Amino acid sequence: MRVVAWNVNGIRACVRKGFKQWLTSTRPTIVALQEVRALPEEALDALQLSRSWYTTFASAEKRGYSGVGILSRCRPDEVLGGLEPQFEREGRFVAVRFGRLAVASAYFPKGDGPRRDLSRVPYKLAFYDAARRRLNSLRRRGLRVFCLGDFNTAHRAIDLARPKQNVFNSGFRPEEREALNAWIDDGWVDTYRAYWPDRVEYSWWAQRGDLRARNVGWRIDYALASRAAAPFVRSAFIETDVPGSDHCPVGVQLDPKIVT
């Protein structure tokens, strides 16, 4: 089973830039999408998927903003409940179950406000806590849980090209990194770091200059596994060579027995 997360930065734009070709060539089993920026019917119209795919979306109240989704080659057994209304309004979380496997697609907020004033940091931290509580409740049900998506935080200095310059900027502030530490302390496993403790790869590059070509980026997209799910991970990867968005796909290869 190949399970992948991708912040597509607008599904319609990503389709124009090769999303369907990527989907055909890499043949993922489950795809967790973030920043869809479309209503479900608009996303489906852009994707034009075959009948072999099943889809679950959560869109924001504001048109063209945020939005998450899950594409899967098998029908989910259950669409799991979301978060509190303040987060549901922004379309940042959706989760589904396949047997004993639960997969969440999450688009964590940025801390920057409209004027890059850090005014959204409290909202971001509250989302971290709410998503962790919700997914921990699924763990208590005996499910093997993955949270995939754009966490909008680089965890350690190795996870961004310029840590010293960004220590007071949203995405690498101490309180944001501590919120991610809380997940790790709860037993969540950063699957990429579990396999590649010293590898320097990024999943997002700012859209200015030639930062992606020069690999001046951040690793802010993750596939976190619950303690019960982690033993089924066979590999973890970042597809840095995939264009189509300012983010690239990240994910895991799983033992199919994880659903049983």
Catalytic residue positions, numbered? 150
Least Cα distance to 240 among 193, 189, 194, 205 occurs for 205
Distance of alpha carbon 93 from the chain centroid: 10
Quick count: other Cβ atoms within 10 Å of Cβ 191?
Answer: 26
**Torsion over CA: 48, 254, 5, 149 (sign):** positive
> In 3D, which of 126, 135, 128, 108 has the Cα closest to residue 225?
135
As a whole number of angstroms, the distance between CA 237 and CA 249 comes to: 9
Q: d(Cα 126, Cα 79) in Å, to the nearest integer?
A: 23
